[in-house]
Each structure stands twice: as C-alpha cells, then as structure tokens.
Structure 1
Amino acid sequence: MHSPIPPHRYFPYLTWTDIEAMPDREHVVIVQPMGAIEQHGPHLPLVVDSAICTTVLGEALTQLDAAIPVYSLPPLYYGKSNEHWHFPGTITLSADTLLRVIHDVAESIYRAGFRKLVLLNAHGGQPQVLEIAARDLHLAHADLMVFPLFVWAVPNCAGDLLTPKEMELGIHAGDAETSLMLSILPDQVRIEQAKAEFPQNLPTDSWLTMEGALPFAWVTRDLSASGVLGDPTVATLEKGDQLLESLASGWVTALTDIYRFRQPKPERAAAIGDSPQ
C-alpha cells in the first residue's frame, strides 16, 4: 500500500504507540501528497498529477538523510479540478470541500503533537486553495507551521529539456508530464494517441496571460479541444528520467530545509523608558 513511498517513511504503518513515543514530534515533518483525478488528453491516464506528486516524494524520501524524520500521509487523490469537468472522467472536489478536508487532516496531525505539515501539490488548479488553508490553520494554531508547496517549484532541469514555447504554454499533458509518465507509469501512456495542441487566440500586445501576474479566468475547453496544452509528441523516457531525478533532488533539499525551519519571530520592541545597552 505504501509504494512508491518507502515503507519506513509511510505514516499509516506507524502504531499509535510509535507516535506517542516519538521524540521531538514538533520537529517531525508530515507530508500530505496532493494531486487530482482529471483528464490529461487522450494519451495519459487520469492519475497523472497524483502519480507525479507521490513518485517524486517517494524518490526524495528514499534519498533523504535517515536522521531527518519525515513521514508521508496517504496521497489525497482528489482535488479541485472543475476547470476540466467538461471532459469525462474528471472527478472534482469543490474548493470548500478541499478546504475542509485539509483542515480536518491538519487538526488530526496537530492533535497528535506534530507541528510541521507540508501540503505537497502537483495539480495546477488548486495552489490558491492550499495557500488559504495554510494561512487559516496557522492563525488557528500559532505553533503549527504549514507549507503549501508545488512539486514543480524546486529547481529542476525542465528549462534545459523543454522548448521556450513548452515552458510558457505546455502546462497540461504536454512534454514534461508525458515524459515523466513514461518514466513512472510507461504501460499507462498511449503515446500513439498523443497530439500537440496549444492555446489559440490568446491576447496579443497585452499584459494579460493564462497564468502569471495578470491572469484571466479560463477553463480547459476555452483553450483546448483535446484537453492537451503542450506538445506530448516529443516526450521521451530519457527526459522523464532526468526530470524525476532533478525534482527528487530538489525535494531532498527542500524537506531538509523544512525540518530545520523555525517559525520567525520579531524581536521584542524596546519599551518606553528602557535604557540603551
């Protein structure tokens, strides 16, 4: 049940007495992998985001220093995917439901004595929900540190492997995700059905973009008839292997940083009348 998470890092394999006896629980890092079950064109399965998130995390946990206590919760396979719901097979939670699920998971983790929770997400349609959840949870518990993080956000080799057009517009089922799936779940990739499709009629001579500083709201059928945004026809296993290796390496560093992280606190302001030292 743990794969691809290493069994000794899989939270559900612990007993309650293991957790009760765990030293320094406030510094132990708990990771909630988060993905989606949603369309990824005619050539990729619905599980892409969940598979990428969990596999990258599993590879990172395999490489992580054994002295650093990090445990993975079971993946949360469903996410907020309503931008894809015009394509059959997509299963979506509402933003409210996802917020409530994250809240209840975090409250359970907090009650068990843990104080560091990573929301590790691979689905581009829900980072804002995770950020809202993280801020609200930290407001509810000042000593709870919540990290709403995107699996692609660590330094990686995508820029060396993908074209500039793909880096800008290939945001769904394109070269990067298809290459990774060739590395992770090759038997589930129907590469013969892959087709390239990029958004048409985007604003020109405008600051407005699909994503970035000045985005406009869109759903996938506004931009793509196939559900693909990018060029999966140039995907290769070799690129997928390199992407997986570089992402995992980045998360080894990031998880180490999170373990070492301490909540910042301002210095006490000098009271009126305090004498200078």
Structure 2
Amino acid sequence: MHGFIPPDRFFPYLTWTDIQAMPDKENVVIIQPVGSIEQHGPHLPIIVDSAIASAVLGKALSKLNPTIPAYALPPLYYGKSNEHWHFPGTITLSAQTLLAVLTEMADSIYRSGFRKLVLMNAHGGQPQVMEIAARDIHQKYEDFLIFPLFTWRVPNIAKELLTLKELEYGIHAGDGETSLLLSILPEQVKMERAVAEYPQELPEDSLLSMEGKLPFAWVTRDLSQSGVMGDATVATKEKGDRLLESLGEGWVRVIEDVYQFRQPQVWMKS
C-alpha cells in the first residue's frame, strides 16, 4: 500500500495510539501528495502527476535524517484537470470539490494534534487551489502552518538536462515528465508512441503568454492535437534517474526547512 514511500514514513501504517503518544506533534511534518488522473499524450499513462509526486516524496523521505519526524499521507490521485477533459480517461474534480477535500483532510490532521501540513502538488493545473486552501486553513486555525508547494519548484538540475525551448514550452508529457516516468514506471511508458509537439498558434510579440505573469485561459486541445506539449522523443531513463535524485534532494531541504519553520507573528509584538 505504501508504494514509493518508505513504510516507516507512511502515515496510514501508524496506529491511533502511535499518533496519540507521538512527541512534539506540533513540529511533525505531514505531507499530502496531490496529483491528477489526466491524459499525458499517447505514450504516458494517465497517472503521471500522481506517480511523480509519490516517487519524489518517497525518494526524499528515504534520504531524510531519521531524527526529523515526517510522514506521507496517501496520494490524492484526483485533481482539477478540466483543461484535459476533452481527452478520454481524464478524471477531474471541480475546484470547489478539491478545495473541500483538502480542507476536510486538514481538519482531521489538525484534530489529531499536528500543526504542520505540506500540500505537495505535482499537477500544473491546480497550484491556485492549493494556495487558496492553504490561506483559508491557516485563517481558520491560526496555529496551523500550511505550505502549498509545487513538486518541481525545489532546487533541481532540470536546467542542466533540458533545452531552453523545453524548459519554456515543454510543460506537459515532454522530455522531463517522460524521462521521470522512464525512471519510476518504465513498463508503463510506450516510447514507440512518443511525439514532439509544442504549443501551437501562441501570440507573437505579445505580453500575453500561456503561463507566466500575464496568462490567457486555455484548454489543452486549443494548443495541442496529441495532448503533448514538449518533446517526448528525446527522453531517457538516465535523465529521469538524475532528475528524480535531484528533486528528492531538493525536497529533503524543503522538509528540513518546514520542520524548523516558525510562523511569524508580528501582531503579537505590537
């Protein structure tokens, strides 16, 4: 049941008495991997984002100093994926449903005495939902520290392995994700079906862009026929192994920082 997560770091393997007796619970780091079930082109399984979140977290927890208390919750496989819903197999929650699930999960974690929760999101279509959930949960419980983090934003070596074009436009089922899947779920990758397709008909010489500071709204079929945005044909397991290792190391640093973090409370000093 624990999948990529070390069994001694898998929260559901604890008993209620283990949790009741746990020391210093306010500084124990609880991590909720959040992914999606959505199309990733003709060559990748629809579990990509959920698999990446779980594998990166598992790598990090296996490297983490055993004196730092941190536990992974079961992955939340479904996410807000409506940009992909024209492609068969995509399963999507509404933003409202995902927000409710995150909030009610957090209520339970708080009730058990924990005060640090990481929302470890691996799907590019829902960071805003994580951020809204985090702010609202912290407002509800002022001593509950919530961290809405994106799996890929920790320090890693993607810039060393991917082209500049891929880094900017290869946002879905391209070189990076395909290489990672070749590392973590190689039997589920159909490289003979891999394609290279970058987003089409983007505005030129415009301040507006697909992502970034001034984005426009889009769904995947607006930009891609295959569902791929990037070059999957150049992916390799060697790149995936290196990416996984560096992402895992980046997440070790993040978990250490969360463990040490204390919420600023300037208002109490005035």
Q: What are the within-5 Å matches in structure 2 for residues 154-233 of structure 1?
A: 154-233=154-233
Instruction: Quote the offset at 1:161 in angstroms.
Output: 0.6
> Could you tell me which amino acid in structure 1 is paired with residue 115 of structure 2?
R
Secondary structure of the corresponding residue to residue 30 of structure 1:
strand
Which structure has the larger Rg? 1
Question: When the two structures are superposed, what TM-score results if normalisation uses the length of structure 1?
Answer: 0.96
Secondary structure of the corresponding residue to residue 40 of structure 2:
coil
Question: When the two structures are superposed, what TM-score results if normalisation uses the length of structure 2?
Answer: 0.99
For residues 136 and 101 of structure 1, what CA distance do their matches in structure 2 show? Answer: 13
For residues 185 and 258 of structure 2, what CA distance do their matches in structure 1 show? Answer: 29
For residues 147 and 172 of structure 1, what CA distance do their matches in structure 2 show? Answer: 24
Task: Report the equivalent of 1:149.
Answer: 149
Deviation digits for residues 112-135 of structure 1 (CA, Å, limit 9, x no counterpart): 000000000100000000100000
Task: Report the equivalent of 2:253.
Answer: 253
Instruction: Quote the offset at 1:199 in angstroms.
Output: 1.1
Task: Report the equivalent of 1:83.
Answer: 83
Tell me which moved more, 186-195 or 259-268.
259-268
Instruction: Quote the offset at 1:32 in angstroms.
Output: 0.3
Secondary structure of the corresponding residue to residue 31 of structure 1:
strand
Task: Report the equivalent of 2:48.
Answer: 48
Instruction: Quote the offset at 1:87 in angstroms.
Output: 0.1
> Could you tell me which amino acid in structure 2 is paired with residue 155 of structure 1?
P
For residues 33 and 201 of structure 2, what CA distance do their matches in structure 1 show? Answer: 35
Secondary structure of the corresponding residue to residue 66 of structure 1:
coil
For residues 220 and 171 of structure 2, what CA distance do their matches in structure 1 show? Answer: 11
Task: Report the equivalent of 1:27.
Answer: 27
Instruction: Quote the offset at 1:149 in angstroms.
Output: 0.3
Is there any run of 5+ residues in structure 2 with no aligned partner, and where? Answer: none
Instruction: Quote the offset at 1:265 in angstroms.
Output: 1.4
Instruction: Quote the offset at 1:201 in angstroms.
Output: 1.4
For residues 2 and 161 of structure 1, what CA distance do their matches in structure 2 show? Answer: 30
For residues 190 and 20 of structure 1, what CA distance do their matches in structure 2 show? Answer: 46
Deviating above 2 A after TM superposition, structure 1's stretches of 4 or more consecutive aligned residues are none
Task: Report the equivalent of 1:103.
Answer: 103
Task: Report the equivalent of 1:36.
Answer: 36
For residues 212 and 15 of structure 1, what CA distance do their matches in structure 2 show? Answer: 44
For residues 185 and 259 of structure 1, what CA distance do their matches in structure 2 show? Answer: 30
Identity of aligned residues (%): 70
Secondary structure of the corresponding residue to residue 230 of structure 2:
coil
Is there any run of 5+ residues in structure 1 with no aligned partner, and where? Answer: 270-277
Deviation digits for residues 38-83 of structure 1 (CA, Å, limit 9, x no counterpart): 0000000000000000000000000000000000000000000000
Instruction: Quote the offset at 1:268 in angstroms.
Output: 2.0
Tell me which moved more, 111-120 or 197-206.
197-206
For residues 17 and 147 of structure 1, what CA distance do their matches in structure 2 show? Answer: 27
Deviation digits for residues 108-165 of structure 1 (CA, Å, limit 9, x no counterpart): 0000000000000100000000100000000000000000000000011100111100
For residues 156 and 26 of structure 2, what CA distance do their matches in structure 1 show? Answer: 30
Instruction: Quote the offset at 1:98 in angstroms.
Output: 0.2
> Could you tell me which amino acid in structure 2 is paired with residue 116 of structure 1?
K
Aligned residues: 269
2:266 counterpart of 1:268: no
Instruction: Quote the offset at 1:3 in angstroms.
Output: 1.6
Instruction: Quote the offset at 1:97 in angstroms.
Output: 0.3
For residues 41 and 70 of structure 1, what CA distance do their matches in structure 2 show? Answer: 34
For residues 190 and 88 of structure 1, what CA distance do their matches in structure 2 show? Answer: 17
